[in-house]
Structure 1
Amino acid sequence: MKLLSYRTSDGESWGALVDGEIVDLATANPGWASLAAALAAALADAGTDGIVRAVTARAGTAPRLALDSVTLLPVVPAPGKILCVGLNFEKHRIETGRERTEHPVIFTRFPDTFVGHGTPLVRPAESERFDFEGELALVIGRGGRRIARENALSHIAGVTCLNDGSIRDFQAHTHQFTPGKNFPATGSIGPWLVTLDDIGEIADLELVTRLNGVEVQRAPLSDLTYSIPEIVAYCSSWTQLRPGDVIATGTPGGIGARREPPLWMRPGDLCEVEVSGVGVLRNTITTEDVTP
């Protein structure tokens, strides 16, 4: 099942994509004001398929909208946590010249750094070194602390595509990634969340990034240095994961900063992140308007 968040002239809502149309589930279920709220309610006791059963039971009476009549938002518009795994593909670690670590490299992003599918990414006025990073992202459905690896998948509602757009010179100011990863509207996530029952084995999925139609990254998810269960277990060892939290699992090799010459995203470009079985996240690039 594909679940998404969106905006119309009436405000923000969420729903399911069924036969090419959006089933407006917030209108049909006033207690589920957001996708995160629905995940919390439906998955609390029912496991990762709880949301699918709940949505299916309610979809028949819900209003429907054309997909092209809405503005898609980040899958979870305001997650409590956005945790990002760095250097999690071996080729990417090697191209950066960094040593392999005993534990996953984790940094955070703020919710306002992400836009949805179809909304332009914004290159800030402070830099022209705007880089792409195609990734698979997890959305937590059932929260928990100290989650065992063998139970990790039961805490994941589904997966989506993510572009961890990075301002490379600011990222390199110190060994901490935070500044280069948190300019407003530099990343994107979507177009929708695909529940695990429609995915199969995550390791069988393939990730591809294209810039202006040219492939710049490709890797199977089986190449992750730290597996999905390892990532969930590690993150939950030091923080409480909650419904709607997002975990980005890392980007493959091929980033623009390590090319010769460097390949930056520029205004007018189109960047696409595709994950097989999930969909294609598309965003054009614009530049920040700093007119007083």
Structure 2
Amino acid sequence: MKYVHFSYQQQQHIGIALDDVIVPISALQPFVDSSLTLPVHMDDLWSQHGLHTQLQHILEQHTTELLAQAIAEQDIEWLPVIPSPGKLICIGLNYRRHAEETKAPIPQTPVVFSKFSDVVAGHLQSVTLPQASTQVDYEAELCIVIGQQASQVSTEEALDYVFGYCAANDVSARDLQMLTSQWLLGKTCPNFAPIGPYLVTADEVGDPNQLQISAYLNGEQVQHSNTSDMIFDCRYIIHYLSQHMTLNPGDIILTGTPEGVILGKPKEERVWLKSGDEVTIEIEKLGRLTNTFVSAK
């Protein structure tokens, strides 16, 4: 299923995306038995064992009635699909051709850094260009959403701990990023982690390392690859991180970006993001995430 987090008539909701409409979770209430509590917040999706399966069953059995209460996508305000991740972990230089374009050595172990969790943004939300930077870049990324606590997990079992996946843009202020050996400053400006528009459950995605991934700048394709080009695949990333920290439900992992970022171009060809630019991240099975960049007021 595809879950969404949205605002409608000044109230926040969780919903299920069906084609181009959204069914609010609250619409399922008449069909719920006493053993099931409908989720109110996104975090509630992984708090009850078997909840996803039960919601899916209700949806299949009562599709006609539920569609009668659906809301058109164009009528909602999209919110970050994970509004308050416990941890927002990023993997750097994780696509072979991206490492090559930036003339960086191929990592022998995952490059791990973080963004602060309060920089998540939603689909169609604007991203303000920071006053302290003149070199803001896009990065199309696959986002893993953890669904159960993971510590010391094996590579073989790693994907069992995933609730779902979504598209992400690891927005980066390159001049701030490269000021020191620590990348954080250029990665965690406000709204520098758009995620969404959907949280697609793992059962619907299948193999996360066989997905087409692209970015478009003002309608022109600037990144195009496949998650199979990852140096460290999703299984290994979860396994590796779980050896060093505990991953909790609601934590998210941005898994790296393919070639085609502005930083990878020759210096004379780099045109950094400017006010009015629109960036769309598209990942197979996960939809299209679009954000517009605006100048700081």
- Report the AA paired with residue 38 of structure 1: L
Moved more, 127-136 or 60-69: 60-69
Provide the C-alpha distance between the structure 1 equivalents of 2:255 and 2:222, rounded to a whole number of angstroms: 18
Provide the C-alpha distance between the structure 2 equivalents of 1:25 and 1:140, rounded to a whole number of angstroms: 21
Provide the C-alpha distance between the structure 1 equivalents of 2:208 and 2:2, rounded to a whole number of angstroms: 16
2:284 maps to: 276
- Report the AA paired with residue 99 of structure 2: R
1:144 aligns with 2:182: no
Q: 2:74 aligns with which of 60, 64, 68?
A: 68
Tell me if structure 2 keeps the 8 A contact 1:108–1:178.
yes
Find the residue that maps to 2:247 and give its secondary structure. Answer: coil
Provide the C-alpha distance between the structure 2 equivalents of 1:79 and 1:9, rounded to a whole number of angstroms: 25
- Report the AA paired with residue 33 of structure 1: V
1:11 maps to: 11
Provide the C-alpha distance between the structure 2 equivalents of 1:161 and 1:116, rounded to a whole number of angstroms: 11
- Report the AA paired with residue 23 of structure 1: V
1:33 aligns with 2:43: no
- Report the AA paired with residue 79 of structure 1: P
2:124 maps to: 118
Task: Using the TM superposition, give the Cα deviation of residue 158 of structure 1 relative to its aligned residue in structure 2, in angstroms.
Answer: 1.2
Tell me if structure 2 keeps the 8 A contact 1:123–1:186.
no
Find the residue that maps to 2:240 and give its secondary structure. Answer: helix
1:229 maps to: 235
Provide the C-alpha distance between the structure 2 equivalents of 1:104 and 1:227, rounded to a whole number of angstroms: 10
Provide the C-alpha distance between the structure 1 equivalents of 2:206 and 2:118, rounded to a whole number of angstroms: 31
Q: Pairwise mapping of residues 1-292 of structure 1 onto structure 2 (< 5 A)?
A: 1-25=1-25, 28=29, 32-42=39-49, 50-59=50-59, 60=62, 64-260=70-266, 261-289=269-297
Tell me if structure 2 keeps the 8 A contact 1:116–1:189.
yes
Deviations for 1:79-132, whole angstroms, at most 9, x for unmatched residues?
A: 101111000011111222322333201111122222111111211111121100
**Which TM-score applies when normalising by structure 1?**
0.90
Moved more, 213-222 or 96-105: 96-105
Provide the C-alpha distance between the structure 1 equivalents of 2:291 and 2:203, rounded to a whole number of angstroms: 27
Find the residue that maps to 2:14 and give its secondary structure. Answer: strand
User: Unpaired runs of 5+ in structure 2?
Assistant: 30-35
Find the residue that maps to 1:235 and give its secondary structure. Answer: helix
Provide the C-alpha distance between the structure 2 equivalents of 1:187 and 1:213, rounded to a whole number of angstroms: 20
- Report the AA paired with residue 285 of structure 2: G
Task: Using the TM superposition, give the Cα deviation of residue 225 of structure 1 relative to its aligned residue in structure 2, in angstroms.
Answer: 0.1
Moved more, 103-112 or 24-33: 24-33
Moved more, 16-25 or 102-111: 16-25
- Report the AA paired with residue 251 of structure 1: T
Task: Using the TM superposition, give the Cα deviation of residue 3 of structure 1 relative to its aligned residue in structure 2, in angstroms.
Answer: 0.7
Task: Using the TM superposition, give the Cα deviation of residue 269 of structure 1 relative to its aligned residue in structure 2, in angstroms.
Answer: 1.0
Tell me if structure 1 keeps the 8 A contact 2:86–2:251.
yes
Provide the C-alpha distance between the structure 1 equivalents of 2:254 and 2:153, rounded to a whole number of angstroms: 18
Tell me if structure 1 keeps the 8 A contact 2:98–2:264.
no
Provide the C-alpha distance between the structure 1 equivalents of 2:248 and 2:40, rounded to a whole number of angstroms: 17
Q: Percent identity?
A: 32
Distance 1:78 1:177, change over 3 A: same
Provide the C-alpha distance between the structure 1 equivalents of 2:44 and 2:26, rounded to a whole number of angstroms: 10
Moved more, 7-16 or 152-161: 7-16
Tell me if structure 2 keeps the 8 A contact 1:21–1:65.
yes
Tell me if structure 2 keeps the 8 A contact 1:16–1:22.
yes
Task: Using the TM superposition, give the Cα deviation of residue 18 of structure 1 relative to its aligned residue in structure 2, in angstroms.
Answer: 2.2
Question: How many aligned residue pairs are there?
Answer: 282
Tell me if structure 2 keeps the 8 A contact 1:25–1:58.
no
Find the residue that maps to 1:74 and give its secondary structure. Answer: coil
Query: Which of structure 1's runs of 4+ aligned residues deviate more than 3 A?
Result: 26-31, 57-64
Find the residue that maps to 1:194 and give its secondary structure. Answer: strand
Provide the C-alpha distance between the structure 1 equivalents of 2:277 and 2:10, rounded to a whole number of angstroms: 31
